[in-house]
Amino acid sequence: MPNQALGPAGARRLVRLDNVPRGDGRLNHDLFPGEKGPQDACGVFGVWAPGEEVAKLTYFGLYALQHRGTESAGIAVSNGSQILVFKDMGLVSQVFDEATLGSLRGHMAVGHARYSTTGSSVWENAQPTFRATATGSIALGHNGNLTNTGELARMVAEQGPDRGELNYPYQGRIEATSDTDLLASLLAGHPDLSLEEAAMQVLPKLRGAFSLVFMDEGTLYAARDPQGIRPLVLGRLERGWVAASETAALDIVGASFIREIEPGELVAIDEHGLRTQRFAEAAPKGCVFEYVYLARPDTAIAGRGVHAARVEMGRRLAMEAPVEADLVMPTPESGTPAAIGYAEESGIPFGQGLVKNSYVGRTFIQPSQTIRQLGIRLKLNPLREVIAGKRLVVVDDSIVRGNTQRALVRMLREAGAAEVHVRISSPPVKWPCFFGIDFATRAELIANGLSVDEIAKSLGADSLAYISIDAMVEATTIPKDNLCRACFDGIYPIELPDPERLGKHLLEGLEQSVRSDADGVQSLLGGAGAEDALRRP
């Protein structure tokens, strides 16, 4: 078995056997060379519900959040005296089966579906992250991305192995390479404090985006960064409570929506009920890209339905960028709501010009060169009788590198389209995200260095237009100053460290970049960062 039960007694580490077959944790964009769209943040789910099958509730909650993370999945369950963890690479439905879920018994659970934004997509970085301490255990799931990872690594190194945390590989080597791993270590490094007290000390030191669910043997916690960049909501079960990344996950498990967990808030749930305290003042800067692409359309954020926001973006896009055409069609499925709005506002008929293969989201089979050359046809195929001879408006949510849209335009022309006009329901993506979305670097973003007309020519489209930032923001109904728009305008709501202290794989150079100084105190040197991430190409 690739996983073991974990608990304070013996503090066994998670292990795996190298000869156990497992998924590679990679999505099928690899089938289309050179293209990787904006990759989602992670999905987190926590439940406190004595008498319920909490592992199954968590499984279905993660299933509802699968779009947020497709590389690995894990669930930790507490029975009040021991925490058991099971995690592996792959989709939620691939990692868990009935027997596994049946073995995870308890009254409280946290779960996680991961897409890596700090650290590689490897088993060691799968979550929930587990720590056995001198007084108990911690299991933690994290959605978002911390920006002061180098500082946190230094704090962990200075904390040393004698601060209550058991079985963690110091001596200049960290097996897991995620910011979540560092956070768990910091929480575990206070043997004289309860986990709640430790959280109140550690959380104010974090910078960046974090929506957390974590627990010890007796209490479930949920916390959100002071900017509230990533969503986190609270729900009520008949016999318990739920915290989740999106309201859609509450719907799936039959929980009623209570409220959003506020920016800068720590919520604790145990046998005494729910209590809350604030570790930082709220300064809301919710991610606008959640409305554009990341969140499920049946989710609501800050009281605004995501589907309604996307339809409104399409309407405003039609007002800003009209064109004479015969058919409005989406790029399935992310472009569908905006295409509906564009059609409604323009009066041009809406139609489905492409058929999507719903089962091609993931594969473990390397495609042959012939299949690679077919590229996007593995995912989308045109309805020729709908397209032939028509002037098309093709609506999509975003353009990153442009390879997918380029192939799509070519495919539509081969199917007989008379004209292809591309309309995008978000502004040009020009800046990388350091708060939980794995965009390309600036040099790889097609909107840098090319004008809109030049991009249209590169795509082979008759015309191209993006929605304006103001129109996109107005569609959310959220005040502009309360949204993070950094990927569009380069204005980051949280001060960023030096470029060499940024980057998805920063911690993977830790073994080479941690050394002992003259006083024997470990110090973190500049490592594998993102020196070019903010530079213009």
Q: Is 179 annotated as a binding residue?
A: no
Tokens, residue 107: 């009254």
Taking CB atoms within 8 Å and a gap of at least 24, the contacts of 218-221 are 218/78, 218/80, 218/108, 218/270, 218/271, 219/195, 219/268, 219/269, 219/270, 220/46, 220/47, 220/48, 220/108, 220/110, 220/268, 220/269, 220/270, 221/46, 221/195, 221/196, 221/266, 221/267, 221/268, 221/269
The answer to whether 181 is a known ligand-binding residue is no
Say which amino acid occupies 422.
V
Is 334 part of any known ligand binding site? yes
Whole-number Cα distances in Å, 148 to 177, 193, 232, 375, 455: 14, 24, 21, 38, 35
| SS3 sequence of 321-358 | CCCCCCEEEECCCCCHHHHHHHHHHHCCCECCCEEECC
Of 6, 42, 113, 348, the active-site residue reads 42
Give the pair of three-digit tokens for residue 27.
């999505």
**CB-side neighbour CA atoms (13 Å) of 401:** 18
* 451 neighbors 318 (Cβ within 8 angstroms): no
Query: Which amino acid belongs to residue 189?
Result: G
* Contact between 219 and 78 (Cβ < 8 Å): no
3-state secondary structure of 299: coil
Beta bridge partners of 112: 44, 74
The encoded tokens of residue 33 equal: 């060379």
Output b/e per residue, 51-90; b: 16+ Cβ within 10 A.
ebbbbbbbbbbbbbbbbbbbbbbbbbbbeeebbbbbbbbb
> Could you tell me which residues come within 8 angstroms of residue 267 by beta carbon, excluding any fewer than 6 positions away?
221, 222, 223, 234, 243, 261, 274, 275, 276
Q: How far apart are alpha carbons 198 and 192 in whole angstroms?
A: 9
Angstrom distance (rounded) from CA 235 to CA 474: 28
> From residue 202, how far is each of 137, 239, 389 by CA, in Å?
17, 31, 62
Inter-residue contact 41 to 115 (CB < 8 Å) = yes
Q: Count CB-CB contacts under 10 A for residue 383.
A: 14
Asked if residue 225 belongs to a known ligand binding site, the reply is no
Please indicate whether residue 42 is annotated as part of the active site.
yes
Q: Is 396 annotated as a binding residue?
A: yes
Q: DSSP letter string over 146-165?
A: ES-HHHHHHHHHHH-TTSSE
Residues in the chain: 537
Q: Which residues are annotated as a binding site for Mg(2+)?
A: 334, 396-397
Which residues are tagged catalytic? 42
Per the annotation, binding residues for [4Fe-4S] cluster are 287, 433, 484, 487
Mark the binding-site residues, compressed into ranges: 287, 334, 396-397, 433, 484, 487
